[in-house]
């Protein structure tokens, strides 16, 4: 079969494009090299839906961020992913910085960002955010900024796309692409796919995909950002707190998550290894120091995890969204921050490009933009839970005590469209292992459930695909063998 469109890369960008295109009468497939979607940059970032004042006006990422932010309201209603518009502060600690805030406000307001205001009244600022340093002299308040769970957004996009007919193929690393007679032949780990149009949304690897077709006009370099995550309720923040930005980044922020944790990070380190997501002592110290300039009482003893993410930085420092010289091949590359914010606007742009290519975009009669909200144990009242448990006792079996996740939720996550196949797949969909003990109690139980539901042996269950097995054999296998021998001899 020849697809109308194939998308390479199952990050937030590839999945957003897939979901937007799923509206039309097209045969679409998405190829992802990892065992699950949302395994690249989309998995580890700040999860901020930016207001859009940060990038300079010459960059297309500025307009796409402002438009993308707007589109979140409708998308969150349709797709039911966790999103809260809590607003952000850019914090000035010196009087000279106020004119920068005023300039950002002026330009941002001209460009249509709603509600921007510079607040200089310290009492008011500290009422709005009591944990902020009392060294503050002023803030730029952006009420339209928000927080989102980037991977839950991506799963929602993929589920809705799959409901509307998009086919997802995981463990499919694209290694070679040929283009002949207006058809792309895509080789991926032993399988071959054919398509009339090809969209490259391969994140850190997008330059390599482009080069497979002989297009060598940009390169991508990884820039690492490290984070420290704190336990839930260790400290409550009501705003996203940014320092004054630097030339290379928006700086080290202190921010709540949609699940009630807070985090501090990221720093910005240019590196050469595209796979290096290690955290370092120096990096974490830098992050902590940066965070403390905004929130001096960061509760370090309540930190539960460190992690790092890699920005895909293009040489132009701007998004590359191109109808290339190869007919039907669209690069969506160099999607650094604010890519998460811009994902819906980027998908709109890709639709425009496909239209320019003459692809017939006829809306499906049975298109359904809604993805039901996954039910969560912790959202129910006692009475509701009683009913649920009566209908299915697995609602009453708590697998993850830190995050109060029931067996029912894990089974749902496995059997959802584009469902979980790995321990991390379950963790990122419904949170067992995300809490204080970081999976110490629940991992063996999650392995058991995955094994039972997918009908595969324990030792084949992996943390995140390939050789990330957590079980290598039975520790008391020799005893079983001895037993069997004895039984036979009797
Ligand atoms: C530290 C940090 C903080 C950030 N904070 C924010 C923020 O607060 N707000 C915001 O708006 N943006 C933020 N961003 C940016 C945002 O995370 C990215 O723009 C977004 O996640 C990019 O998504 P993507 O789909 O392009 O890339 P990815 O998520 O990396 O997806 C690309 C996918 O392609 C797959 N792939 C690669 N090669 C192949 C191949 N050969 N075959 C098949 N599949 C392949 C990969 O496995 C991957 O899953 C941040 C980024 C970082 C690193």
Residue 460, pLDDT score: 93
Q: Do 154 and 211 reside in the same domain of the chain?
A: yes
| Cβ neighbours of 477 (radius 10 Å) | 9
CA 271 vs. chain centroid, Å, equals 21
Q: Do 362 and 438 reside in the same domain of the chain?
A: no
- Closest Cα to residue 405, out of 381, 387, 429? 429
401 lies in which domain range?
379-460
Q: What is the pLDDT of residues 115-167, one digit of tens each?
A: 999 999 999 999 999 999 999 999 999 999 999 999 999 999 999 999 999 99
Q: Do 176 and 60 reside in the same domain of the chain?
A: yes
Output phi, psi for 166, to 5 deg. -70, 140
**Partners of 436 in beta bridges:** none
**Partners of 406 in beta bridges:** 398
Residue 470 lies in a domain: no
Between helix 339-356 and helix 150-163 the angle, nearest 10°, is 30
Residue pointed to by tokens 């001895």: 482
Q: Do 452 and 340 reside in the same domain of the chain?
A: no
Residue 154, pLDDT score: 98
Q: Do 15 and 78 reside in the same domain of the chain?
A: yes
- Distance from C-alpha of 113 to C-alpha of 68, rounded to nearest angstrom: 11
**Partners of 222 in beta bridges:** 312
Residues acting as catalytic residues: 50
Protein residue with least CA distance to atom 9, ligand 1: 48
Distance 42 CA to ligand 1 centre (A): 4
Residue 268 lies in a domain: no
Residue 476, pLDDT score: 78
Is 357 in contact with 199 (CB distance < 8 Å)? no
Q: Do 329 and 455 reside in the same domain of the chain?
A: no
- Closest Cα to residue 470, out of 443, 490, 489, 452? 443
Q: Do 48 and 178 reside in the same domain of the chain?
A: yes
Residue 206 lies in a domain: yes
Q: What is the CATH number of the domain that holds 155?
A: 3.50.50.60
- Distance from C-alpha of 63 to C-alpha of 47, rounded to nearest angstrom: 19
Residue 243 lies in a domain: no
Residue 161, pLDDT score: 98
**Which among 373, 391, 410 is the end of a domain?**
373
Distance 465 CA to ligand 1 centre (A): 18
Is 257 in contact with 227 (CB distance < 8 Å)? no
Residue 189 lies in a domain: yes
Protein residue with least CA distance to atom 19, ligand 1: 339
Q: What is the pTM of this model?
A: 0.96
- Distance from C-alpha of 18 to C-alpha of 165, rounded to nearest angstrom: 10
Distance 326 CA to ligand 1 centre (A): 24
- Closest Cα to residue 265, out of 228, 309, 234? 228
**Which among 373, 399, 416 is the end of a domain?**
373
> Buried b / exposed e across 389-400, counting CB within 10 Å, b at 16+?
beeeebbeebbb
Q: Which class for 180: exposed (0-12), middle (13-18), buried (19 or more C-beta within 10 A)?
A: exposed
Residue ranges of the chain whose pLDDT lies below 70: none
Residue 248 lies in a domain: no
Q: Which residues line ligand 1 (CB under 6 A)?
A: 8-14, 31-34, 39-42, 45-48, 50, 173-174, 201-205, 209, 225, 266, 309-311, 335-341
Protein residue with least CA distance to atom 27, ligand 1: 203
- Distance from C-alpha of 423 to C-alpha of 448, rounded to nearest angstrom: 10
Q: Do 383 and 362 reside in the same domain of the chain?
A: no
- Structural domain total, the chain: 2
**Which among 347, 373, 399 is the end of a domain?**
373
Residue 88 lies in a domain: no
Residue 194 lies in a domain: yes
């Amino acid at each position: 079969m020849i697809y109308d469109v194939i998308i390479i890369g199952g990050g937030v960008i590839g999945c957003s494009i897939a979901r937007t295109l799923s509206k039309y009468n097209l045969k679409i497939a998405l190829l992802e090299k990892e065992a699950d979607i949302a395994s690249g940059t989309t998995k580890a970032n700040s999860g901020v839906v930016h207001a859009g004042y940060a990038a300079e006006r010459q960059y297309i990422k500025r307009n796409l961020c402002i438009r993308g932010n707007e589109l979140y309201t409708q998308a969150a209603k349709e797709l039911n992913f966790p999103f809260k518009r809590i607003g952000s502060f850019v914090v000035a600690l010196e009087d000279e910085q106020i004119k920068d805030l005023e300039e950002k406000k002026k330009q941002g307001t001209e460009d249509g960002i709603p509600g921007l205001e510079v607040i200089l009244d310290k009492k008011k600022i500290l009422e709005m955010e009591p944990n902020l340093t009392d060294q503050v002299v002023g803030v730029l308040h952006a009420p339209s900024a928000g927080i989102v769970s980037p991977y839950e957004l991506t799963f929602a996009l993929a589920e809705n796309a799959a409901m509307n007919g998009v086919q997802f193929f995981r463990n499919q690393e694209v290694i070679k692409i040929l283009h002949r007679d207006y058809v792309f032949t895509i080789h991926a780990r032993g399988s071959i796919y054919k398509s009339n149009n090809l969209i490259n949304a391969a994140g850190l690897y997008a330059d390599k995909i482009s080069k497979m077709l002989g297009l060598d006009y940009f390169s991508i370099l990884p820039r690492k950002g490290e984070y420290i995550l704190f336990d839930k309720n260790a400290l409550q923040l009501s705003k996203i707190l940014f320092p004054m930005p630097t030339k290379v980044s928006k700086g080290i922020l202190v921010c709540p998550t949609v699940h009630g944790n807070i985090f501090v990070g990221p720093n910005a380190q240019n590196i050469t290894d595209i796979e290096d997501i290690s955290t370092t002592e120096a990096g974490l110290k830098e992050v902590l120091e940066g965070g403390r300039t905004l929130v001096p009482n960061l509760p370090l003893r309540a930190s539960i995890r460190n992690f790092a993410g890699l920005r895909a930085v293009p040489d132009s420092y701007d998004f590359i969204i191109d109808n290339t010289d190869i007919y039907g091949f669209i690069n969506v590359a160099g999607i650094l921050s604010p890519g998460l914010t811009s994902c819906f606007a980027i998908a709109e742009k890709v639709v425009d490009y496909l239209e320019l290519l003459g692809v017939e975009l006829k809306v499906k009669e049975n298109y359904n933009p809604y993805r039901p909200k996954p039910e969560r144990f912790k959202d129910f009242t006692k009475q509701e839970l009683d009913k649920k448990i009566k209908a299915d006792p697995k609602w009453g079996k708590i697998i993850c005590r830190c995050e109060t996740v029931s067996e029912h939720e894990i089974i749902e996550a496995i059997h959802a469209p584009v469902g979980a196949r790995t321990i991390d797949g379950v963790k990122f969909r419904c949170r067992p292992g995300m809490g204080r003990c970081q999976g110490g109690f629940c991992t063996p139980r999650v392995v058991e459930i995955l094994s039972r539901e997918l009908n595969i042996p324990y030792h084949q269950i992996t943390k995140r695909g390939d050789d990330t097995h957590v079980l290598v054999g039975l520790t008391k296998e020799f005893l079983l063998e001895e037993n069997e021998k004895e039984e036979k001899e009797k």
